[in-house]
Amino acid sequence: MKVRVTITLKAGVLDPQGKAIEGALRGLGFAGIDGARQGKIVDLALAETDPDKARATVADMCEKLLANTVIENYDIAVLG
């Protein structure tokens, strides 16, 4: 079973990398950018076949390692 974890910075946490990306996009002439935030994706291949169990296991992985919940949110998507 493939599971995708998307990790993003919480609202209100300064994201200097996102700011730099935003500035570079403006520099390229893209108009109307209201913000850019950078995150990361972790794709997991699991032996588990039950989506609910897979989701619960990955949530545990996020809490223990994949995300730093002081500054980051995570979203889990079961890709099948």
Partner 1 sequence: MRSAVVLFPGSNRDHDMVKALHDVTGNRPTVVWHQDATLPDVDLIVLPGGFSYGDYLRCGAIAARSPAMLDVARKAKAGVRVLGVCNGFQILTEAGLLPGALMRNAHLRFVCKEVKLRVINNATDFTRAYAKGQVIRCPVAHHDGNYFADPETLARLEDDGRVAFRYAEGTNPNGSINDIAGILNEAGNVLGMMPHPENLIEALHGGLDGRGLFESVIQAVAA
Interface residues with partner 1 (CB under 8 A) are 13-14, 16-17, 20, 64-66, 68, 70-71
CB 43, min distance to partner 1, A:
14
Q: Which is nearer to partner 1, 28 or 64 (CB)?
A: 64
Q: Which is nearer to partner 1, 19 or 55 (CB)?
A: 19
Please name the residues in contact with 22: beta carbons below 8 A apart, sequence gap of 6 or more.
33, 35, 36
CB 50, min distance to partner 1, A:
26
The CA-based dihedral angle spanning residues 36, 39, 45, 46, taken in that order and rounded to the nearest 10 degrees: -120
Handedness of CA 60, 63, 67, 72 (dihedral sign): positive
Q: Which is nearer to partner 1, 16 or 27 (CB)?
A: 16
